[in-house]
Amino acid sequence: MSDVTEIALFPLNVVLFPYSKLPLYIFEERYKKMINDCLVNEKIFGINFFADKKIHLTGCTASVEEILNRTETGELNITVKGRRRYKILNYELGIDGYYIGTIEYTEDVIDPVFDKAGMEKAVKHYNDLVELVYKGKVMKIDLNETRWNDGSRSLAFAMAEKCGLNLTERQSLLEADSENKRLDQILKYFDEVMPKIKEADKINNIIKSDGYIQQ
């Protein structure tokens, strides 16, 4: 598959990570057309963080995992799953009212020395956080699982789903081009938040920011 391709774009006030799942409610006519086209033709589309009238150029492709329900007038409740990171090279408004972008897929820079100690420290903080905030409703991370050690999954992206990062912090994480950089960002966040984690308002803020579906 070429690293450069064209896809439909869905600018939203969310940040999607590879392998993450998000529920979406589709109600605008143009995006109902877009999603139905993706379903009929088994196509992906792109989700880019949209804020302050700006489309951030680094996004993540998505596929429809499940249609939860469809109304008589065509509104959809769906679950989407993140696939691959990309950068928009250019985009224009298509005839159906949504943007079509030329994108280039991005791959991680391979770190010469992987920060194993940083990974273990971040996971300890994460597991402590989800225990305090979610009280058993969110699974802890087990570093013995193969997916965290064979390079197939980003541990930082997985932790970012539930740890309470704001949207700007999530976008910065999505744009980071190596796992070591992402782990460093997560650790800095934990250093700031963990001393305050027992405060009720901090716990509520983390829960309110949680829109991802646990896998």
Q: Domain ranges in the chain?
A: 4-105, 116-208
Q: 148, 191 in Cβ contact below 8 A?
A: no
Are the C-beta atoms of residues 14 and 211 closer than 8 Å to each other? yes
pLDDT score at 211: 80
Q: What separation in angstroms does the CA of 77 have from each of 17, 48, 70, 161?
A: 20, 19, 7, 20
Please state, in angstroms and rounded to a whole number, the distance separating the CA atoms of residues 111 and 117. 14
Q: Does 214 score more than 80 pLDDT? A: no
In DSSP notation, 163-191 reads S---HHHHHHHHH--SHHHHHHHHHHHHH
Greatest mean pLDDT range, 79-93, 98-112, 123-137 = 79-93
Confidence category of residue 215, pLDDT binned at 50, 70, 90: low
Residue 18 CB coordination number (10 Å): 17
pTM across the whole model: 0.92
Q: Which of 188, 65, 39, 61 is nearest to 121 (CA)?
A: 188
Residue 213: pLDDT band with limits 50, 70, 90: confident
Contacting residues for 30 by C-beta, under 8 A, at least 6 apart: 96, 97, 98
Residue 183: phi, psi to the nearest 5?
Answer: -60, -40
Is pLDDT at 2 greater than 90 in this prediction? Answer: no
Least confident of 107-111, 152-156, 180-184: 107-111
Has residue 212 got a pLDDT over 50? yes
Closest CA to 155 of 168, 140, 169: 140
HSE (side-chain half, CA atoms, 13 Å) at 71: 11
pLDDT score, position 1: 46
Q: What number is the average pLDDT over the span 22-34?
A: 97
Q: With respect to CATH, is domain 4-105 assigned 3.60.10.10?
A: no
CA angle 164, 198, 159 (to 5 degrees): 30
Work out the burial of residue 2: count CB atoms within 10 Å of its CB; fewer than 13 is exposed, 13-18 middle, 19 or more buried.
exposed
Q: For CA atoms 100, 101, 107, 109, give the dihedral sign.
A: negative
Does residue 139 surpass a pLDDT of 80? yes
Mean pLDDT of 9-31: 97
